[in-house]
Amino acid sequence: MSSPSDVLAPRVTAAIAAAFGDDHPDLRDADPVLRPSQYADIQANAALAIAKRVGMPPREVAARIVEHLDVGDVCSEVEISGPGFVNLTLSDGWVSAEVAVVAADDRLGVPVQSPQTIPIDYSAPNVAKEMHVGHLRTTIVGDSLARTLEHLGHHVVRQNHIGDWGTPFGMLIEHLLDVGDGSPEADLLVTDPNAFYQSARAKFDSDDTFQSRSRSRVVALQAGDVDTLVTWDRLVGMSKTYFNLIYGTLGVTLTDADLAGESTYNDELKGICDELEDAGIATISDGALCVFLDGYTGREDKPVPLIIRKSDGGYGYGTTDLATIRYRVQELKADRILYVIGATQALHLNMVWDTARKAGWLPDDVTPIHVQIGNVLGADRKILKTRSGDSLRLMALLEEAVGNARRVIDAARPDLDEPVRAAIAPQIGIGAVKYADLSVAHSSEYVFDLERMLALTGNTGPYLQYAAARIRSIFRAAGLDVVTPEEEARRLVVREPGERTLALLLLQFGSVVTAVGDELEPHRLCGYLFDLAQAFSSFYESCPVLKADDAETRESRLGLCALTLRVLVQGLDLLGVESPEQM
Ligand code: ARG
């Protein structure tokens, strides 16, 4: 069970070797590019590149390749076209047999890769602050990557590096002590953390005694004062409650067990600085301990340092990130380390990695990867920070999405019972937000536009959910179960163009999921699922299913419907998007 290109590529390679390998040993192992074409199922255009090498017109090269090409068991037609393309048409028999293999496979053709340990650093909001849309995006993209890599057989270790340490904590702790546990002010931490932060900040800016209390509190916190730590812990606990509300609403897989916040690394920081200083990698500059690395210069070629201990003795973001990499390599035994964080942090990460390499904490066989997260913009194309004048509360944004989805489902399916519509609305609303986030390349910016996200047409979550629900309704209408045992017994016979296009896409699911895991690009899966849903739509228009001409055709088409549904549902699940039963 493999995608057509996977099957045909080695055959073309063999044909090239047989045709030209004797005279040109470098062509014994050619890696031809095969791609879907509008003129045939697959097109190989190896001839053009080879022509130059062997000094022969491309069409002649193509003819020589075809002469040696052994694809009788796979293709019904092989044809040379244009300047020297080889067009390959897969035989209906081969397509039917392959698609049946996928249908019989629990994994739907997705291979299990040789397992790696992959820590994924994602979400990472800050305590006592609102999560912003950037956090929303890393949470959604990171979670989809975690699901996909896990499904491919890897050992994923979720690392939620929350901001739970640093100077603002003196002020936050003092404010919590002032307002008192259980007060409405304190409860803001769970409902509107920005409001809590803002009042602490306002007091800090206007009240000198509060300011000096806050400063001493930081010192007490860093010294490990027990009472201070108790209050700090409550503050963090309430923030966790808030994060978990958001995670629950979003349906992401993060739990408290995945928390590995900045404070986790406190005990490591001094040792990290000492080791780097002893090794001569870090040096004191203007009172701060800094690492200067080749190739990092700012204005007027001034070297940019990675500051690992400030002149006041405090440690910074860079120091904790050195600790993350050491921990992930040494303790977690990572093979690949993913940092799903803002694109603007690229410089920071590269400096951290280069420092870690110098220190011997990041060996060559461990690959750190920055999965860059692009900005989410408002309608004004500025970073989305406010909505209708208020500052942005993520929970309010998600509630708005669900509310709008409710209106969509109310309009589309007034016949459904009220509780059913109430249950479907969050699946659509949250699915729409997540899908919109995932369907653009993670490093590109996009405009947050609820109306477009919720559209029932186009490359949207609801369009895919609708395609899945529609297939379910076909089975409901026929009084049939979607999945096995009937389904395994269903004989798949692919004949009509609508059936073929759909079947060929179904054969590609495995290689698409593999590519998403390798390239860390969920938008490829979105693009694939969108193509699949569209192909299903055309198939369904041109090929009657329940009213097919004969029982055999009906069975086969039901089989294609069932497989399409399973692939859609599995694909959406890898994206973290639910599939409503009805829409
Ligand atoms: N808390 C940080 C922020 O809100 C993100 C942390 C990302 N992870 C890391 N290891 N640096 O910007």
DSSP string spanning 314-383?
---HHHHHHHHHHHHHHTS--SEEEEEEEGGGHHHHHHHHHHHHHHTSS-TTSEEEEEEEPPEE-TTSSB
Ligand 1 probe mutation, 126, 258, 264, most atoms within 8 A of CB: 126
> For residues 451 and 408, what is the distance between their CA atoms, to the nearest angstrom?
10
> For residues 269 and 250, what is the distance between their CA atoms, to the nearest angstrom?
34
Average pLDDT estimate for 210-224: 95
Check residues 573 and 483 and name the one with the higher pLDDT: 573
Q: What whole-number percentage of the chain has pLDDT above 70? A: 98
Out of 170-179, 189-198, 298-307, give the one with best mean pLDDT. 170-179
Q: Does residue 183 register a pLDDT over 70?
A: yes
Q: Do residues 266 and 164 lie in contact, with contact meaning Cβ atoms separated by under 8 Å?
A: no
Alpha-carbon radius of gyration of the chain: 29
> For residues 581 and 468, what is the distance between their CA atoms, to the nearest angstrom?
8
In the block, residue with structure tokens 């600085």: 273
Enter the tokens of residue 397.
Answer: 């944004």
> For residues 295 and 345, what is the distance between their CA atoms, to the nearest angstrom?
17
Q: Which of 46, 49, 61, 40 is nearest to 13 (CA)?
A: 46
- Sort residue 346 into left (φ over 0), alpha (ψ -120 to 50) or beta: alpha
> For residues 339 and 145, what is the distance between their CA atoms, to the nearest angstrom?
11
> For residues 58 and 49, what is the distance between their CA atoms, to the nearest angstrom?
8
> For residues 262 and 4, what is the distance between their CA atoms, to the nearest angstrom?
47
Average pLDDT estimate for 349-375: 98
What pLDDT score was predicted for residue 486?
A: 52
What is the CA(177)–ligand 1 centre distance, in A? 27
DSSP 393: P
Q: Which of 431, 372, 346 is nearest to 145 (CA)?
A: 372
Ligand 1 probe mutation, 136, 161, 268, 348, most atoms within 8 A of CB: 161
- Strands 288-297, 282-285: pairing is antiparallel
DSSP 112: P
Q: Does residue 393 register a pLDDT over 90?
A: no
Q: What are phi and psi of 370, to 5 degrees?
A: -95, 105
Atom 5 (ligand 1) nearest CA: 124
Burial classification of residue 560, based on how many CB atoms lie within 10 Å of its CB (0-12 exposed, 13-18 middle, 19 or more buried): buried
Cβ neighbours of 204 (radius 10 Å): 20
Q: Does residue 89 register a pLDDT over 90?
A: yes
> For residues 125 and 102, what is the distance between their CA atoms, to the nearest angstrom?
40
Average pLDDT estimate for 41-47: 90
> For residues 199 and 24, what is the distance between their CA atoms, to the nearest angstrom?
75
What pLDDT score was predicted for residue 37?
A: 82
Out of 119-133, 383-397, 420-434, give the one with best mean pLDDT. 420-434
Tens digits of per-residue pLDDT, 92-126?
A: 999 999 999 999 999 999 999 999 999 999 999 99
Q: Helix count (H) and strand count (E) of the chain?
A: 22, 15
Confidence at 357, pLDDT banded by 50, 70, 90 = very high
Enter the tokens of residue 297.
Answer: 């210069």
Tens digits of per-residue pLDDT, 536-558?
A: 999 999 999 999 999 999 999 99
Ligand 1 atom closest to Cα of residue 161: 8
> For residues 542 and 349, what is the distance between their CA atoms, to the nearest angstrom?
52
Q: List the chain domain ranges.
A: 4-90, 168-253
Average pLDDT estimate for 199-216: 96
What pLDDT score was predicted for residue 48?
A: 87
> For residues 363 and 353, what is the distance between their CA atoms, to the nearest angstrom?
10
Q: Do residues 428 and 461 lie in contact, with contact meaning Cβ atoms separated by under 8 Å?
A: yes
Atom 2 (ligand 1) nearest CA: 124
Tens digits of per-residue pLDDT, 454-499?
A: 999 999 999 999 999 999 999 999 898 876 555 555 789 999 999 9
What type of residue is 447? Answer: V
Enter the tokens of residue 477.
Answer: 């209408």
What pLDDT score was predicted for residue 349?
A: 98
What pLDDT score was predicted for residue 6?
A: 87
What does the mean pLDDT of the chain come to? 94
> For residues 524 and 527, what is the distance between their CA atoms, to the nearest angstrom?
5
What is the CA(546)–ligand 1 centre distance, in A? 53
Average pLDDT estimate for 427-451: 97
Average pLDDT estimate for 232-236: 97
> For residues 204 and 52, what is the distance between their CA atoms, to the nearest angstrom?
73
| Contact residues of ligand 1, CB 6 A cut-off | 121, 124, 126, 161, 163, 321, 324, 339, 341
Identify the CATH assignment for 4-90 out of 3.40.50.300, 3.30.1360.70, 3.90.180.10, 3.40.50.11720: 3.30.1360.70
Average pLDDT estimate for 517-531: 98
What pLDDT score was predicted for residue 480?
A: 87
DSSP 2: -
Cis bond leading into 36, ω under 30°? no
Atom 6 (ligand 1) nearest CA: 124
Tens digits of per-residue pLDDT, 125-142?
A: 999 988 888 899 999 999
Check residues 29 and 283 and name the one with the higher pLDDT: 283
Concatenated DSSP letters for 263-316? GGGHHHHHHHHHHHHHTTSEEEETTEEEEEEEEEE-GGGPEEEEEEE-TTS---
What pLDDT score was predicted for residue 305?
A: 95
DSSP 151: H
What pLDDT score was predicted for residue 180?
A: 96
> For residues 452 and 447, what is the distance between their CA atoms, to the nearest angstrom?
10
Average pLDDT estimate for 359-382: 96
What pTM did the predictor assign?
A: 0.95
What pLDDT score was predicted for residue 388?
A: 64
How many CA atoms are closer than 13 Å to the CA of 84, on its beta-carbon side?
A: 18
Burial classification of residue 73, based on how many CB atoms lie within 10 Å of its CB (0-12 exposed, 13-18 middle, 19 or more buried): exposed
Cβ neighbours of 388 (radius 10 Å): 7
Q: What does the H/E/C string look like for 498-512?
A: HHHHHHHHHCCHHHH
> For residues 465 and 565, what is the distance between their CA atoms, to the nearest angstrom?
10
Q: What are phi and psi of 432, to 5 degrees?
A: -65, -45
What is the CA(121)–ligand 1 centre distance, in A? 8
Ligand 1 atom closest to Cα of residue 162: 1
Average pLDDT estimate for 575-581: 97
Cβ neighbours of 143 (radius 10 Å): 26
What is the CA(311)–ligand 1 centre distance, in A? 23
